[in-house]
Amino acid sequence: MPTRRALLKTAALAACSAAAHPLLSTMTFASAPGENRLVVIVLRGAMDGLDVVQPYGDPALRALRLALSAGPEGGALVLNDFFALHPALDGLMPLWQAGELAFAHAVATPYRDKRSHFDGQDLLEAGTGNDLPIDQQKGGWLNRLLQAMPGATAETAYSVGTEEMLILSGSAGALSWAPEAALTLSPQARLLLAEVYHDDPLFRDAARAAEEIGASLTGEMGKGPKGDAARLAAFAADRLNGETRIASFSLSGWDSHARQAQVLKRPLGDLATAILTLRDGLGANWARTTVLAMTEFGRTARENGSGGTDHGTGGALLMAGGAVRGGRVYGDWPGLGEGQLYQDRDLLPARDVRAYAGWAMRGLFGTKTGLIERAIFPGLDLGPDPRILA
């Protein structure tokens, strides 16, 4: 029997030949897989879930955090009688009120104890367990979802930005594009390049596809919003309004070891901007969209001596979109009191973050649970349906 390692290898090899196909075939959209849309935002650097969704109803929180995460008294926005939202995400409150924003708290990947950003992100994107060394895990879970989607074409999934997105790598064709890759060529240079690439199919097709992507961007995008988050999200929305159904990009800056109150303002602002840009850009399609913003792990329950927090374990997952059953914080609360923390330092993970992603794809794309537990998130126990979709 082939080992899983061997299977993963085969998938990695197949990626080479899949990549050899011309990437864009704008004619073949006959069987695009449905109308539902999934956006996965990877929050690189470990977002402090306890500060973003503050469990002010847990009396132990105040003892752990001296200045940070002060709940409604510190300006956090009341979500319910237990949780409050970091004030820098106030732009998202209308979504919460409209039932288009939700969180799952005390979630984690299976990654434990070493608390390395790189390994943690690799595992988050690979979507696998701990049964195989991280650097031997090939391919990402969104790519395996694509492989399981009937009628998927290269255009079905997009990774956006210059960050390499392991989450979409693998044998199924997917497109990638960075808004800053758009070329400003004079018409004459464009013509001449088309001429010199004409006899080399590899270069000809790649250049033509680059030009089509660039040219197909809606008018406002070129001069549109400034800032990476807005540009990434605007591009993703643009694609999702077309044939694309899955998009992924990453936002960085979450590693808040010191002066967290200041440090988190920018990434939280970026996250809010990205989600609001997606909503605005998607228009009517927002109703069929689910956004999952996930991070490699949470941070220490205790504030450190520099006004920050260090690498931890359990964290929070943000879910947004018209397809989400919002206005709630999902998950069982493990508590922050004596004996309730993981290794007496971190929020104890109550549920595997992959279970939420798994149930989202079950609801959005009809992916069979057996397939999710076997192939997309191998070894995952999906558990009961948290019913995160409206």
Partner 1 sequence: MAIDPERAAIRLGYGLSPRMPPAESVFLLESVAQATHPDGWTTTAATAAHLDFAEIRQARDEGALSPEDYRAHVQELEGQRLDALRNRIARAAGAPAGFGERLVQFWADHFTAVAQNPTQHLMAAAFVDEAIRPHLNGRFGDMLFAAATHPMMLIYLNQNASVGPNSQFARRRPEKHVGLNENLGREILELHTLGVGADYKQSDVRELAELLTGLTYNPKDDRRFRPQVAEPGAETVLGVPYGDGLPEIARAMGNLAMHPATARHLSRKLATHFAADDPPEALVADLAAVWLDSGGDLSAINTALVAHPGLAATFGQKTRQPFDFIAASLRALGMGAGEILALERPQVRQHLLVPMQRMGQPFGKARGPDGWPEHAADWITPQLLSARIGWALSTPQRLIEPFPDPRAFLSTALGATVSETLARAVPRAENTREGVAIVLASAEFNRR
CB of 367 to partner 1, least distance (A): 26
CB of 126 to partner 1, least distance (A): 11
- Residue among 103, 177, 356, 377 that touches partner 1 (CB under 8 A): 177
Q: Over 134-148, what HEC string results?
A: HHHCCCCHHHHHHHC
CB of 87 to partner 1, least distance (A): 23
β-bridge partners, 221: none
Q: How far apart are CA 336 and CA 47, in angstroms?
A: 18
Strands 289-295 and 329-330: unpaired
Determine the interface stretch with partner 1 among 93-101, 131-139, 278-286, 320-328 (rule: CB under 8 A): 131-139
Q: Strands of 209-288 (E only): list them.
A: 246-252
Q: How far apart are CA 320 and CA 314, in angstroms?
A: 20
> Taking CB under 8 A as the rule, does residue 146 contact partner 1?
no
> Taking CB under 8 A as the rule, does residue 242 contact partner 1?
no
The CA-CA-CA angle for residues 85, 86, 88, to 5°, reads 125
Indicate the residue among 22 and 34 with the shorter CB distance to partner 1.
Answer: 22
> Taking CB under 8 A as the rule, does residue 7 contact partner 1?
no
The CA-based dihedral angle spanning residues 208, 214, 216, 218, taken in that order and rounded to the nearest 10 degrees: 180
Size of interface with partner 1, in residues (CB under 8 A): 50
| Contacts of partner 1 in 205-224 (CB under 8 A) | 206-207, 209-210, 213-214
Q: How far apart are CA 205 and CA 118, in angstroms?
A: 34
| Alpha-carbon distances of 280 from 122, 292, 378, rounded to whole Å | 31, 17, 35
> Taking CB under 8 A as the rule, does residue 131 contact partner 1?
no
Phi-psi category of 190—alpha, beta or left, where left has phi over 0 and alpha has psi -120 to 50?
alpha
> Taking CB under 8 A as the rule, does residue 10 contact partner 1?
no
| Contact code string over 20-59 relative to partner 1, x by CB under 8 A | x--xx-----------------------------------
Closest CA to 241 of 217, 224, 222: 217
> Taking CB under 8 A as the rule, does residue 138 contact partner 1?
yes
Binding region for partner 1 (CB under 8 A): 9, 16, 19-20, 23-24, 116, 118, 133, 135-136, 138, 162, 164, 166, 175-178, 180-186, 188-189, 192-193, 195-200, 202-203, 206-207, 209-210, 213-214, 257-259, 304-306
